[in-house]
Amino acid sequence: MTGRHLPRRLALISVHTSPLAQPGTGDAGGLNVYVWQTATRLARRGVEVEIFTRATSSADEPSVEAAPGVTVRHVPAGPFDGLDKRDLPGQLCAFSANVLRAEAAQDPGYYDLIHSHYWLSGQVGWLARDRWGVPLVHTAHTLAAVKNASLAIGDTAEPMLRVIGEQQVVDEADRLVVNTATEGSELVDLYGADPSRVDVVVPGADLDRYSPGSKLAARAKLGLDPNDVLVTFVGRIQPLKAPDVLLRAMAPLIHADRTGRLRLLVVGGPSGNGAGLPETLIELAAELGVTERVTFLPPQAPDDLAQVYRASDLVSVPSYSESFGLVAVEAQACGIPVLAADVGGLCVAVADGVTGQLVAGHGIAEWTDSLAGLLADPDRLRAMGMRAAVHAEKFSWEHTTDALLASYDRALVGYRGVGGRGTGRFGLRRRRGRTRLTV
């Protein structure tokens, strides 16, 4: 890091989900993995990281030394239970107040930089940035305007409250970190972001944990038949992730399979608008007549998840929207090809025709045809898997950390305090450190 400005202490804000939560449960997913993996690696580079997240249990300690150089602060804001993510905007005042109090108890200049994750955290980071006089780096992870443009059937559009909140954070942040160049273009085109403040930082995978291994050993550990042909879905069970699309696409292939070996494995728990969906998927499997060929597993710890990938012949990511798609990279790192929707960052994560295949749209017939074509050629699948492991080596968390530190350097060098950012797409103009809606 010679010649770069390295923050001594980073305030990392993740309001709605803790990096200590199990991915695949509640609102925990790729964002949790991203926060934890980058925080621990930043700490190894000499940056002290303090993560602020909302307390969701009375058992949460106010401060937890989660790893060397990484502290997780559980911030009280609202009731522990029964608070949906859509209710959290009403608790941002309480959350922000407690974050500011934590800093006020320290010597002046305690934090050098703020990095907020998701728009709720960006709202808190914006306030803290102005109070502390340090730069704000923001990662959206998902964008309401993008999600609303490709809603799943039965899903609910993101509210205007979020769209406006995102616009405010885009206007205010000193640097905007995106997962792919496509996401950067979306920020510019849909939110009027200044391209000179956008940094592309590609997420990674834990390549020490996710690596090729024995398929037979993995199936034995998970209690799966060694002779099955296994297609796997991993993720939160919600309309956005489209597990129902995969289930419907698999059904005719299962009925046509005379060997009785074709099976779908669904790994994950309910989330957000997907509350109750595991039961809905079970009912759908019964309706389609494939109950006996579908296995449901709860969210898996990282080491067990690696075994899930290794046990699979093909991993599918049929999401309607993905800013990147960590599941796709993790599966490929284990040497497993991926069938994914041709959306968002999945176009970067998967090398179409080389390490897997991308499907345009979510038509069931198209997904069935793509599955049938891949599963009919085991030799091609194996070759894709070998190339997938090599492809995934480009996506390491060390590379991600390098790029984040470069973004932090630009934020520290270019920071000039509170100042106007012009007018965004929704007429939000900053005046003397405040934001107002112009008409």
pLDDT at 430 over 60: no
Mean pLDDT value of segment 120-146: 96
Tokens read off for 125: 């980071």
Residue with more model confidence, 437 or 239: 239
pLDDT at 24: 53
pLDDT at 185 over 80: yes
pLDDT at 238: 85
* CATH superfamily membership of 215-392: Glycogen Phosphorylase B; (3.40.50.2000)
pTM of the model: 0.86
CB 334 within 8 A of CB 328: no
Residue with more model confidence, 108 or 368: 368
142 is in an annotated binding site: yes
Tokens read off for 140: 């959206």
Burial class (CB in 10 A: 0-12, 13-18, 19+), 402: middle
27 is in an annotated binding site: yes
Read off the pLDDT band of 242 (50, 70, 90): very high
Q: How open is the CA angle 197-202-204, to the nearest 5 degrees? A: 150
- Give pLDDT tens digits for 367-377: 999 999 999 99
pLDDT at 153 over 70: yes
91 is in an annotated binding site: no
Helix-helix angle 243-256:364-375, to 10 degrees: 60
Helix (H) or strand (E) holding 12: strand 9-13
Q: Phi and psi of 139, rounded to 5°?
A: -120, 120
Query: Do 215-392 and 9-204+397-437 fall under one CATH topology?
Result: yes
Distance between start and end Cα atoms, the chain: 46
330 is in an annotated binding site: yes
23 is in an annotated binding site: yes
Read off the pLDDT band of 424 (50, 70, 90): very low
- Give pLDDT tens digits for 54-83: 998 888 899 999 999 999 999 999 898 777
322 is in an annotated binding site: yes
Question: Hey, where are the domains in the chain?
Answer: 9-204+397-437, 215-392
10 is in an annotated binding site: no
111 is in an annotated binding site: no
158 is in an annotated binding site: no
* CATH superfamily membership of 9-204+397-437: Glycogen Phosphorylase B; (3.40.50.2000)
- Output the CA torsion 286→288→291→292 (10° steps): 140
Q: How open is the CA angle 133-139-143, to the nearest 5 degrees? A: 130
pLDDT at 332: 98
320 is in an annotated binding site: no
- Beta partners for residue 312, in sequence order: none
pLDDT at 57: 86
9 is in an annotated binding site: no
Read off the pLDDT band of 272 (50, 70, 90): low
346 is in an annotated binding site: no
Q: What is the DSSP string of 214-258?
A: -HHHHHHHHT--TT-EEEEEES-BSGGG-HHHHHHHHHHHHHH-S
pLDDT at 58: 86
241 is in an annotated binding site: yes
410 is in an annotated binding site: no
28 is in an annotated binding site: yes
